[in-house]
Amino acid sequence: MEAGFLPRDRFQTLLDALRQSGYRCIGPQARAGAIVYDTLTRAEDFPRGMRDRQSPGVYRLEHTDSPRFFSWANGPQALKPFVFAPREPLWRSERAADAAIRFSEINPAPEPLAVIGVRACDLAALRLQDRHFLEGPFADPGYAARRKNLFLVVVHCTHPADTCFCASTGDGPRATQGFDLALHESDEGYLVQAGSDKGRALAAQWALVPAIAAQQQEADREVEDAARRQIRRLPSRNLRDDLFANLAHPRWEEVAERCLACGNCTAVCPTCFCHSEADEAALDGRHSLHLRQWDSCFTQGHSYIHGITIRADTRTRYRQWLTHKLGGWHDQYGRSGCVGCGRCIAWCPVGIDITEEAAAVCGGGAHG
């Protein structure tokens, strides 16, 4: 479909059309000093004029006079919580009157969600999560139900943070597939392009005027410029062999002296999928819920197996994270597990930078 143009003062029609189609709209908002995703019904609630400053261990928002809603790079949230719930019950057990224990599965019935403002890196991360949760021998029913109900409105990124490196992983800043609608924002409004039948049906309601060549050229120039402005990069898209050849590298010890093993990097990472399971018993002893919750390879319990904590120190936990993310994923999913969103750099309380650590172990530069 050719791109059409939606003037800024008609942006509310996008929200209204999504709501009339049965979606709860989720959009970016400036809250407590960060861009977060939450329910949104009015165009005025978008973070108009907000800009972010990100560097290792630092995230700051500042206000500008720009009329744009999307002139920032990603905040801490990705699409992950909307499909892979941070905590959810998987099954319930009940003790019946005859003392028998009965198990019943819990099937989530999620409401349709439209997420507005998705970036290319997060779309790539969603594709990776699809591989993990849907395309293995057993599809995850909770993930599948939530994923089916998602409508994705992408905004091509024109304001990368200093922590972003999606151009080096090949995942941004332009989204090329996997969206329902793609927007390019200018000061005057939005170039709108449909990427699915659902997106086409929605866009058809707005009687958009076709975009003119100059608008499209300016949009292309802004996205290309966003790729050029990225200052970080990974040494290569495939570090598998270099990482596994360097398991005894002294850098693992050095990074462990700085790392707090807090797990922030895994919580904000859009592709991390590790979880633990727990049972929550009712006080009357008759019911219990079996829960799945996000976990991290930085916790002690995550590598506890049959009385042994396999990765007992921070050195082996950090090494596990990096070698799995940038190495082992090639064996499991055919590519690296990093989409270059930079969140683990900005939200690490001590500013550990995955691009620097990878370069230190494997050689090559972390800065372009």
Q: Minimum CB separation from ligand SF4 for residue 126, in Å? A: 12
Helix (H) or strand (E) holding 319: helix 314-323
Sequence-separated contacts (24+) of 25-33 with Cβ below 8 Å: 25/114, 25/116, 26/82, 26/113, 26/114, 26/115, 26/116, 27/115, 27/116, 27/117, 28/69, 28/70, 28/72, 28/75, 28/116, 28/117, 30/61, 33/59, 33/60, 33/61
The identity of residue 344, as a single letter, is: C
Q: Minimum CB separation from ligand SF4 for residue 297, in Å? A: 9
**In terms of CB distance, is 83 or 341 closer to ligand SF4?**
341
Q: Minimum CB separation from ligand SF4 for residue 221, in Å? A: 26
Annotate 162-180 with DSSP letters as a single string: TT--HHHHT--SS--SS-S
Q: Minimum CB separation from ligand SF4 for residue 107, in Å? A: 30
**In terms of CB distance, is 292 or 335 closer to ligand SF4?**
335
Burial class (CB within 10 angstroms; exposed 0-12, middle 13-18, buried 19+) of 58: middle
Is residue 184 a contact partner of residue 190, using CB atoms and an 8 Å limit? yes
Q: Minimum CB separation from ligand SF4 for residue 255, in Å? A: 7
**In terms of CB distance, is 211 or 352 closer to ligand SF4?**
352
Residue 233: closest CA among 318, 336, 117:
336
Q: Which residues bind ligand SF4 (CB under 6 A)?
A: 259-265, 268-271, 298, 325, 338-344, 348-350, 352, 354
**In terms of CB distance, is 271 or 288 closer to ligand SF4?**
271
**In terms of CB distance, is 182 or 341 closer to ligand SF4?**
341
Q: Minimum CB separation from ligand SF4 for residue 54, in Å? A: 11
Token pair 């909307």 is at which residue?
82
Residue positions counted in the chain = 368
**In terms of CB distance, is 179 or 273 closer to ligand SF4?**
273
| Count of other CB atoms within 10 angstroms of residue 102 | 10
Q: Minimum CB separation from ligand SF4 for residue 338, in Å? A: 3
Please tell me the distance from the alpha carbon of residue 280 to that of residue 347, in angstroms, as a whole number. 31
**In terms of CB distance, is 116 or 358 closer to ligand SF4?**
358
For residue 277, the SS3 value is: strand
